[in-house]
Amino acid sequence: MNSINSSKAGPKVSIGMPVYNAGYFLRERLDNILSQTFADFELIISDNASTDSTLSICEEYSKKDKRIRCFRREKNMGGFWNFSFVLQQAKYELFVWAAVDDKWNADFLEKNVSVLESNKNIVGSTGRVERYGLPVNEFKPNPTYSLVKKSYKKIRRHFRPFGTFPAFGPWEKKAGFYLRHQSAQSIYAVYRTDKLKVSVLSKPISAWDMAVILNVLKHGDLHVIDEVLWYWYTGGDSSRGLIDRYNKGIMTLKQLIFGPSSFVRWCIKNHGIKFFLKNFDCFIWLYCINPIGLTMELIQIFKQKVSTRKSEKFMPPPH
């Protein structure tokens, strides 16, 4: 394996991979991580009571590579718990969450570790990200999602652009910038473990990833290497329609109707009313995004049912 000299004194990395029924992606992702040019890492995998081949694949790879530590829950504890668990198990100075369906360039760790090692003011580092998988405009997880109007997608992309963005300077400036971009892909940056551990939330809320980013930015700046270093799978849970996500238990009824209201309340409680008023336009959009999307999905469902009934009405009778 081509790797950085492991005997060199320097930071080591803990990689946390929360998984559930990840058998389709797991082998390719493990090979992707184990081929990193930076080799001083531990890989912590937490299997959240999977019912497919996930556990057997984890056991197979952990026998081959001692850097892998596998944990297994007999009961599904939810995504928030699983993300928090792998972080709490981290032993090394740097930490990065690894989504099982994402992909890293071979030098992803090497380049980000170098940035953090050379600049103590930087608390997190990542590279630019691109999508992979099915084209975004062709991904149709169900009929409801495929009928959501293009205008809504354009509005959402305007207020919540895809990508990773650097953040430097005073905290209020950085926090305001991230609220306006509402991009949470940077949650998958390489962070200083101690700073990330004190930044995670003790309880799940909507937009928890944005809340973690706002917290961790109190401890330093976020750097983005001007090079595509990783790839985001377009067919993940975040790509599904709101109703589909609710039906699959990805979001609660309260989150479906009111959107990230718990995140707004959290911001007011933890960062003050002055911060809320200063970024009032961002919070208004956060309150509106789910009701707008939900209304459009319901309209499209109604149109689809009407169209289906009309088609059935004019079908020739069976012989």
Condensed to tens digits (0 to 9), the pLDDT of residues 36-69 reads: 999 999 999 999 999 999 999 999 999 999 999 9
Query: For residue 197, is pLDDT > 60?
Result: yes
Structure letter (DSSP) for residue 136:
G
CB atoms closer than 10 angstroms to residue 238 = 11
pLDDT greater at residue 139 or residue 254: 254
* Mean pLDDT computed over 164-182: 91
User: Rounded to an integer, what distance in angstroms lies between the CA atom of residue 69 and that of residue 194?
Assistant: 20
Task: List the chain domain ranges.
Answer: 10-101
pLDDT of residue 315 exceeding 90, the answer is no
For residue 143, pLDDT over 80 is answered with: no
Label each residue of 159-210 as H, E or C.
HCCCCCCCECCCHHHHHHHHHHHCCCHHHHCEEEHHHHHCCCCCCCCCCHHH
**pLDDT band of 5, cuts 50, 70, 90:** very low
CATH class held by domain 10-101: alpha beta
Q: Is pLDDT at 9 greater than 70 in this prediction?
A: no
Residues 6+ apart with CB under 8 A from 161: 181, 183
SS3 213: helix
Residue 313 or 10, more confident = 10
- 221, containing H or E segment: strand 221-233
Question: pTM for this one?
Answer: 0.79
Q: Cβ contacts of residue 157 below 8 Å, gap of 6+?
A: none
Q: What is the DSSP letter of 219?
A: G
| Residue type present at position 115 | V
Dump pLDDT digits (tens) for 207-257: 899 999 999 999 999 999 999 999 999 875 555 555 565 565 555 655 555
